Amino acid sequence: MLFLIIKRILLGFITLFIVSIITFVGTEVLPGDACTTYLERQAFGEQLEACYRRLGLNVPAYERYVSWALNAIQGDFGYSLSGEMPIKDVLGPRIKNSLVLASAAIFIGIPIALILGIITALWRDKLPDVAISTVTIFAMTIPEFISATLLILIIAIWLEWLPGIVIVPTDVSFLELLPNIILPVVAIAMIMTAHMARMVRSSVIQVMASEYVQMAILKGVPYWKMVFKHVLPNALLPAINVVALTIAWLLGGVVVTEVVFNYPGLGRLVIESISNRDLPTVQALAIILASIYVSINLLADLLTLMLNPRLKTLQIRK
Amino acid sequence: MKLDSIYKEEKKSAFAKLSEIIITMASRPSGLIGLSILVFHIILAFISPYIAPHDFKAIDPTLMLQAPSAQYWFGTDDLGRDVFTRTILGGRTALTITFFGSLIALLWGGLLGIFCGLVGGKIDDVVMRIVDAFLSIPWILAMLLIVSLLGTSTEVLIPALGFFYGKGIVRVARAATHDVIAKDFIVSARARGHSNFSIIWNEIIPNVRDAILVEGAMRWSWMLLGFSSLSFLGFGVSPPTPDWGLMISNARGLMSFAYWAVIAPIVGLSSLIIGINLTADAFAKALGIDRSTKAPV
């Protein structure tokens, strides 16, 4: 058990290490370095030299990687190109805002997904299932920027219920942020919920078809008791990992949604820093987003390990 | 003699098999709807240049933001261009780029996955670590970085999309190969002294093909989603090319008084993505593969 946990954590770190190399090599081998892309036509002579020195680009690549990685582990990502601000100061409030957005979507999305998934599985191919499944197919396939645009058009422009575009400074307090985040949260939660509801549905259907559930039915266990005691614990456990992967995958969608709503989070920073060719910030963002992905998956793995008694005994026996 | 005829029958039926699969797919309502939408879009992509009523890039300031009328069925946009023309042309770039991108993804992802599943050991470990690492970089960041440094031409977008959406196929192909490789017929092929290449070509590929194809079909819809997100963010095809993502992002700022310019491309793009998704789902069901428990990675 302990061995397994340590192994998972180590694997996570190895993945992050490879990600850091990929982003470093990626920004290195692609044509143009940070200075030439940033300075564009003024990229010659003294200015270029000065920029190289400022960013420390005049030392060999592997040395730069080592010093960058060592600093990055301590949370210091160096300076951004355009703003001349330490990247960690830029990142701080952005991370907080994005976390608020994503966690709100997750906390709304997971319960709804569970309920919808269970309903559709128990009434499989009946009216509730057909109706809900049709809606979830629409919600999960339509890209975030479309659902977000439609939400703005209908709720903000036609009905005028909520502000359509977030116009707040980056370091705003939570209460001021609240009315602004409702629409972005709905836009993200919709697609997330639809994905998860479908997975819960098929997981529950699989367990319902298993032999021990048939056995329980034959034995005369009351239906709802069987559902809650025998079906759900077994159905939801394997869903945890898949849900984690989905959440991690939807990070990309959060980026797009933040742009549509002009939300001051990590996602908009991704677009801004890439538009400004701010490669140091891009590297930092790649590492941070990858760490979020790795830690969500790690968390899901550990949760599954803790909740699954079979895996525990398996490890002890080994 | 009898054995031979059975063998022949199985061999010739590649086309018959395909039509059988399509019939199975169309026998469910969701599959039928998906297939019809997809076929409609493909036909439209081929014929739209010939049926477009107006010039897609003809700018006319006197016709700015006209509401839908008999002459301009879906109205005009902020530069006075016909929205209907641009909408029916808007899927061509996306369909072409993502179709060839998916083919590339299928090829390299499938082959690398089969290779890893076969050789196992150290090489497999290293490759899978790297694939995992690529999987944990959000697609949008990687794509944005590539197109911002290499440009947004088709020659860049197709391989870039193909590469980034292929890494998930590696995993699926590898898992499918693992399932097959322990089976008796592989052992007996080895015992018969077949070469590695012959085993891959004749024994493994036919058995993992279905799983990889289904994965590729799913990838297609995600790639379309990714590509149009790129266009929407201004990192995809460049104007004045008619493209749904680009049209939505252009018309978005003015949608409080010209909603038609944003609704038309939204309907176009959503219907295509839903069509591909339903088709891929039906395709998976027709081949007997359940992929609803898989995460979209």
- Flag whether pLDDT at B217 surpasses 60: yes
What Rg value do the Cα atoms of chain A yield, rounded?
Answer: 24
Q: What is the pLDDT of residue A6?
A: 84
Residue A317 confidence (pLDDT) above 50: no
Q: Are B268 and B30 in contact (CB under 8 A)?
A: no
Q: CB–CB of B141 and A289 under 8 A?
A: yes
Judge whether B9 lies within some domain. no
Q: What residues form DSSP beta bridges with A79? A: A86
| pLDDT, average across residues B192-197 | 82
The mean pLDDT value for A164-168 works out to 65
Average per-residue pLDDT in chain A? 77
**Is residue A64 within 8 Å of A57, Cβ to Cβ?**
yes
Higher-scoring residue by pLDDT: B116, A159: B116
Mean pLDDT of B33-61: 82
Looking at the complex, does the CB of residue A188 fall below 8 Å from at least one CB of chain B? no
For position A264, what pLDDT does the model report?
Answer: 80
Task: State whether residue B93 sits within 8 Å of chain A by CB.
Answer: no
Is B295 in the A-facing interface, judged by CB distances under 8 Å?
A: yes
Separation in Å, CA of B182 to nearest CA in chain A = 23
Residues of B within 8 A of A244 (CB-CB) are 295
Distance from CA of B81 to the nearest CA of A (A): 21
Residue A316 pLDDT:
44
Average pLDDT over residues A207-217: 83
Q: Which of B145, B149, B293 sits opposite A203 (nearest CB)?
A: B293
Closest residue in chain A to residue B260, using alpha carbons only: A153
The answer to whether position B11 is within a domain reads: no
Name B101's Cβ contacts closer than 8 Å, sequence gap at least 6. B157, B158, B159, B161, B162, B165, B223, B227
For residue A106, the SS3 value is helix
**What confidence tier does B103 reach under pLDDT thresholds 50, 70, 90?**
very high
Query: How much is the pLDDT for B6?
Result: 52
Are A221 and A230 in contact by the 8 Å Cβ rule? The answer is yes
Residue B284, min C-alpha distance to chain A (Å): 14
CATH number at residue B258: 1.10.3720.10
Q: Is residue B141 part of a domain?
A: yes
Average pLDDT (A175-191) is 79
Task: Give SS3 for A79.
Answer: strand
pLDDT score at B11: 56
Distance from CA of A8 to the nearest CA of B (A): 13
- Whether A45 shows a pLDDT value over 70: the answer reads no
B68 domain-assigned: no
Band the pLDDT of B102: cuts 50, 70, 90: very high
Does the pLDDT of residue A31 top 60, yes or no? no
- The percentage of chain B sitting over the pLDDT mark of 70, rounded to a whole number, equals 90
Q: What's the CA angle centered on B53, arms B81 and B246, to 5 degrees?
A: 40
Q: To which residue do tokens 């009315």 refer? A: A179
Any B CB within 8 A of A276 CB: no
Confidence at B104, pLDDT banded by 50, 70, 90: very high
CA A287 – CA A17 distance, rounded (Å) = 9
Residue A62: CB atoms within 10 A of its CB come to 9
Question: How many folded domains does chain B comprise?
Answer: 1
- Across the range B209-213, mean pLDDT stands at 84
Question: CB A46: neighbour CB atoms within 10 A?
Answer: 8
Cβ of residue B259 closer than 8 Å to a chain A Cβ: yes
Taking the C-alpha atoms of residue B95 and residue B226, their distance in angstroms, rounded to an integer, is: 12
Range of the domain at B42: 24-59+74-286
Contacts of A150 in chain B (CB under 8 A): 266
Q: Establish if A18 belongs to a structural domain.
A: no
How far off is chain B from A290, nearest CA to CA, in Å? 5
Which of B252, B261, B297, B206 lies closest to A252, judged by CA? B297
Across the interface, do B270 and A202 touch by the CB < 8 Å criterion?
no
Helix (H) or strand (E) holding A7, with range, is helix A2-29
In a domain, B296, yes or no: no
Interface of B with A in 135-174 (CB under 8 A): 135-141, 144-146, 148-150
Residue A92 or residue B33, greater confidence = B33
**pLDDT at residue number B122:** 87
What pLDDT is recorded for position A121?
86
Q: Is residue B228 situated within a structural domain?
A: yes
Q: What is the reported pLDDT for B297?
A: 44
Q: Residue A123 belongs to what domain range?
A: 93-275
Query: Higher model confidence: residue A58 or residue B223?
Result: B223
pLDDT classification of B145: cutoffs 50, 70, 90: confident
Instruction: Tell me what pLDDT residue A201 has.
Output: 86
Which chain A residues are within 8 Å of B290, Cβ to Cβ? 202
Angle formed by the axes of helices A61-73 and A2-29, nearest 10°? 140
CB contact (8 A) between residue A146 and residue B266: yes
Cβ atoms A144, A188 nearer than 8 A: yes
Q: What is the mean pLDDT of residues A189-196?
A: 85
pLDDT in tens, B234-278: 887 777 778 888 888 887 877 777 777 788 888 888 889 889 888
Q: What is the pTM of this model?
A: 0.81
The full 3-state SS of chain B, as one line of letters, equals CHHHHHHHHHHHCHHHHHHHHHHHHHCCHHHHHHHHHHHHHHHHHHHHHHHCCCCCCCCCHHHCCCCCCCCCCCCECCCCCEHHHHHHHHHHHHHHHHHHHHHHHHHHHHHHHHHHHHHCHHHHHHHHHHHHHHHCCCHHHHHHHHHHHHCCCHHHHHHHHHHHHHHHHHHHHHHHHHHHHCCHHHHHHHHCCCCHHHHHHHHHHHHHHHHHHHHHHHHHHHHHHHHHHHHHCCCCCCCCCCCHHHHHHHHHCCCCCCCHHHHHHHHHHHHHHHHHHHHHHHHHHHCCCCCCCCCCC
ipTM over 0.95? The verdict is: no
* Averaged pLDDT for residues A22-33: 67
Residue B127 to residues B134, B143, B239, B293: CA-CA distances in angstroms? 11, 21, 39, 25
pLDDT over 80 at B229, yes or no: yes
pLDDT single digits (tens) A111-136:
898 889 888 888 888 888 888 888 88
Question: How would residue A318 be classed by pLDDT, with cut points 50, 70 and 90?
Answer: very low
Contact B265, B90 (CB under 8 A): yes
* Total of domains in chain A: 1
Given a contact cutoff of 8 angstroms between Cβ atoms, the answer to whether B38 and A141 are in contact is no
For A280-305, the pLDDT digits (tens) are: 787 788 888 888 888 887 888 788 77
Taking the Cβ of residue A304 and every Cβ of chain B, the question of whether any pair is shorter than 8 Å is answered with no
Q: Do A256 and B140 touch (CB under 8 A)?
A: yes
Pick the most confident of A132-146, A193-207, B93-107: B93-107
Cβ-contact A217, A226 below 8 angstroms: yes
* Structural domain includes residue A71: no
Q: Does B207 touch chain A (CB under 8 A)?
A: no
- pLDDT tens-digit profile of A246-260? 776 677 778 888 888
Residue B212 domain flag: yes
Round to whole Å and give the CA distance between B162 and B102.
Answer: 6
Specify if A85 maps to a domain. no
Q: Would the pLDDT of B214 be above 80?
A: yes
Of A41-45, A60-64, A101-105, B177-181, the least confident: A41-45
Q: For the residues B143-162, what does the mean pLDDT come to? A: 80
> Does A65 reside within a domain?
no
Taking CB atoms and an 8 Å cutoff, what residues of chain A touch B147? none
In a domain, B42, yes or no: yes
With 50 as the cut, is the pLDDT of residue A97 above it? yes
Residue A190 falls within a domain, yes or no? yes
Q: B274–A18: do the CB atoms touch at under 8 Å?
A: no
Residue A268: inside a domain: yes
Instruction: Give residue A315's pLDDT.
Output: 47
CATH number (domain holding residue A107): 1.10.3720.10
Please indicate, yes or no, if residue A37 is contained in any of the structural domains: no
The mean pLDDT value for B61-87 works out to 73
User: Binning pLDDT at 50, 70 and 90, where does residue B105 land?
Assistant: very high
Q: Who has greater pLDDT, A309 or B117?
A: B117
